[in-house]
Structure formats: C-alpha cells, structure tokens
Amino acid sequence: MSKAFRDTAAEAQHCQSICVQTIQHCLEVGGSHVEPSHIQILQDCSEICETTGTMLMRSSVQHNQVTAACADICERCAQSCDRFTGDAQMKACAEACRRCAAACRQIAQMRPGSPGHHSVP
C-alpha cells in the first residue's frame, strides 16, 4: 500500500472518529446542534469516512469513486460545523473534515500508474 493511501486512510479514520464524538457533543448541547440536517451530515460523514478508510487499507481499485464522494461529504460536513462559532468541538470537527476532504481529493485524482497509486497485480 502506498504512503498516500495509508495517510489518507488515517485521515479518514480520524475524521470518522471525530464525527462520532461530535454527534455525542451535539446531543449533549441540544438546541440548534441537534437539527436533523446537521446530525445527518455528521452521520453521513462518519460512515463515508469509515468506508473510505477500509477501502484504502485494502487498496481497493474502486477508490476513486469513494474518495471523491468522501471529499464532497466531508466538505459539506465542515460547512455545517462552521455554523457553530465559538464551539471548540465543532471547530475541531470542521478542521478534521477539511483535512480528510483534501487528502481524499488527491487520492480521487490519482490514475493507475501514477506515483503513489497502488495497482492490484
């Protein structure tokens, strides 16, 4: 497995974890933190990150589609978290989502045979 795949899988796993923690935080805070659309994007982000991390760890040849979707969902989640200014957990989640989105975008753009791309023999 390439270093790029390992690094992106680690970012996805971190993002998945922080999204789960953030859901718990939102449930504890209540109010606008528990708006259905916000909780849903956190759940979606957590699940796509888990899937992305797993697929990258096994060097799936389908990684382009999954990492592209992960980047999009992570960016949407970051935007949703950004609405809660002055909340350290929400800021941390947005930052993790943006790092994951950037890493996934790089992987999604890799083509077979390019440096860092891992081909299945």
Domain at 81, CATH number: 1.20.1270.360
Residue 115 lies in a domain: no
Side-chain-facing half-sphere of 44: CA atoms under 13 Å: 18
Residue span of the structural domain in which 11 resides: 3-108
pLDDT value of position 44: 98
Residue 60 lies in a domain: yes
Residue 28 lies in a domain: yes
Can you list the residues of the chain whose pLDDT is less than 70?
Answer: 1, 111-121
For residues 40 and 49, give the distance between their C-alpha atoms in angstroms, rounded to a whole number. 14
Residue 33 lies in a domain: yes
Q: What is the pTM of this model?
A: 0.90
For residues 120 and 33, give the distance between their C-alpha atoms in angstroms, rounded to a whole number. 43
Give the Cβ contact number of residue 22 at 10 Å: 27
Q: Which of 103, 81, 92, 102 is nearest to 37 (CA)?
A: 81
pLDDT value of position 36: 98
pLDDT value of position 112: 57
Handedness of CA 43, 45, 50, 54 (dihedral sign): positive
pLDDT value of position 110: 81
Residue 120 lies in a domain: no
Nearby residues of 94 by Cβ (< 8 Å), 6 or more positions away: 77, 78, 79, 81, 82
pLDDT value of position 2: 87
Residue 117 lies in a domain: no
Residue 26 lies in a domain: yes
pLDDT value of position 62: 87
Residue 14 lies in a domain: yes
**Total of domains in the chain:** 1
For residues 72 and 79, give the distance between their C-alpha atoms in angstroms, rounded to a whole number. 11
